[in-house]
Amino acid sequence: MATEKNRLLRGDDIPRSEITPRDVFENRRRLIQLAGATGASALFGTATLARAQSASVSPDPKAQKLSARPNPAFRVPDAVTPYQDITTYNNYYEFGTDKSDPAHHAGTLQTRPWVVSVEGECQNPKNYAIDDLLKLVPLEERVYRMRCVEGWSMVIPWIGYPLAEIIKRAAPTASAKYVQFITLDDPKQMPGLSEPIINWPYSEGLRMDEAMNPLTLLTVGLYGQVLPNQNGAPVRVVVPWKYGFKSGKSIVKIRFVDKQPPTAWNTYAPQEYGFYSNVNPQVDHPRWSQATERRIGEGGYFTPKRPTLMFNGYGEQVASMYQGMDLRKFF
Ligand SMILES: Nc1nc2c(c(=O)[nH]1)N[C@H]1C(S)=C(S)[C@@H](COP(=O)(O)O)O[C@H]1N2
Ligand SMILES: [Mo]
């Protein structure tokens, strides 16, 4: 799949594969709404937005419900992105590189049985069966702002609990300085693995204090339902002050390590994707600006972009972790 890699390296993936089809889709949806159609537009249009403000009810009647206590301390005031957008506009390269690919192809992912191995530099390594992981502590609903390095953002009502709950139980040793996250890599379930785009399995990493931060969410659901496959079922991490790729999906290993671990996108293009990848409007990606963002589901092509916020707006909770660090160097 050399062509895909070349396309990504040239940087024209942004206008071509992302913005254009998206805007066509959004404009079509708005036309449908203007025409006063009911059905699909009532389900996925403005009604969804309104409902999402007040309740965590899944707009997908077939979805498996998952109840969680809303935690108002972790709820941004922004309008929640429509369910339809959150679940059809995805990056999950194991299922293809187009934004619509994961929703089409992730049906082959088998989420049971599923075991998450917590391992490495810790006193209590443990294999968690997914259903035990789900029941470990009460689930919370948190509405987080998410921003992709590609320049789009969403507001997502996630369900989960702090990753710190798992870390505390594992009792990391003094040499545990970082946490590595490793995604499933089963070519039988994941057609994208036949393309050597990144060094599979997808892996990510956080410094121990970042992993322990109360914002860092072990995530098992969204919009009042079990996590859809395309969003990283059955369990993923969500790190809302960092670019989207730090939030690894469908995790099978959580490993404590003593050195900064290699990560999928940093290995792919180290000059473009750093280990930290904190959302930072002042440090541009080498090929495009990070100063503004397009909120998915909000308007169309001519809607003005929003200014991107330092640490995605979570500075109060996270800035102290980076005091004294040159964020241009540690991007
Ligand atoms: N395993 C895996 N995790 C992944 C990715 C991926 O391709 N594979 N893409 C990342 C990127 S770039 C983003 S922006 C987010 C998107 O999450 P969402 O589809 O739930 O919005 O997932 C991240 N986690
Ligand atoms: Mo992303």
For the chain, 331 residues long, give each residue's pLDDT as a single digit of tens. 333 343 343 333 333 333 333 343 344 344 334 333 333 333 334 434 444 444 445 578 888 999 999 999 999 999 999 999 999 999 999 999 999 999 999 999 999 999 999 999 999 999 999 999 999 999 999 999 999 999 999 999 999 999 999 999 999 999 999 999 999 999 999 999 999 999 999 999 999 999 999 999 999 999 999 999 999 999 999 999 999 999 999 999 999 999 999 999 999 999 999 999 999 999 999 999 999 999 999 987 789 999 999 999 999 999 999 999 999 999 9
In short, whether 202's Cβ falls inside 6 Å of ligand 1 is: yes
Return d(Cα 33, Cα 36) in angstroms, integer: 5
Q: Kindly report the number of other CB atoms within 10 A of residue 297's CB atom.
A: 24
Nearest atom, ligand 1, residue 251 CA:
1
In short, whether 223's Cβ falls inside 6 Å of ligand 1 is: no
Per-domain residue ranges of the chain: 4-322
Q: What is the pLDDT of residue 286?
A: 96
CA-closest residue to ligand 1 atom 20: 231
CA-closest residue to ligand 1 atom 19: 90
CA-closest residue to ligand 1 atom 11: 245
Q: What is the pLDDT of residue 223?
A: 97
What is the CB-side half-sphere exposure of residue 279 using CA atoms within 13 A? 30
Nearest atom, ligand 1, residue 230 CA:
19
Distance 24 CA to ligand 1 centre (A): 23
In short, whether 48's Cβ falls inside 6 Å of ligand 1 is: no
Do 181 and 254 form a contact (C-beta atoms < 8 A)?
Answer: yes
Nearest atom, ligand 1, residue 90 CA:
19
Q: What is the pLDDT of residue 271?
A: 97
**4-322: CATH number:** 3.90.420.10
Q: What is the pLDDT of residue 54?
A: 40
In short, whether 87's Cβ falls inside 6 Å of ligand 1 is: no
What pTM did the predictor assign? 0.85
Nearest atom, ligand 1, residue 231 CA:
20
Q: What is the pLDDT of residue 14?
A: 37
Return d(Cα 331, Cα 329) in angstroms, integer: 6
- 123-129 LR contacts (CB < 8 Å, sep 24+): 123/170, 123/171, 123/172, 123/173, 124/169, 124/170, 124/171, 125/170, 126/169, 126/170, 128/166
Question: What is the dihedral angle through the alpha carbons of 205, 16, 154, 291, rounded to the nearest 10 degrees?
Answer: 80
CA-closest residue to ligand 1 atom 4: 248
Q: What is the pLDDT of residue 274?
A: 98
Nearest atom, ligand 1, residue 86 CA:
21
DSSP string, 163-187: THHHHHHH-B-TT--EEEEEE---T
In short, whether 229's Cβ falls inside 6 Å of ligand 1 is: no
CA-closest residue to ligand 1 atom 7: 92
The type of residue at 240 is P
Q: What is the pLDDT of residue 45?
A: 40
Do 222 and 144 form a contact (C-beta atoms < 8 A)?
Answer: no
In short, whether 81's Cβ falls inside 6 Å of ligand 1 is: no
Distance 35 CA to ligand 1 centre (A): 34
Q: Quick one: 137 exposed, middle or buried, by C-beta within 10 A (0-12, 13-18, 19+)?
A: middle
Return d(Cα 239, Cα 248) in angstroms, integer: 9
Return d(Cα 250, Cα 201) in angstroms, integer: 11
Q: What is the pLDDT of residue 58?
A: 59
In short, whether 243's Cβ falls inside 6 Å of ligand 1 is: no
Distance 247 CA to ligand 1 centre (A): 6
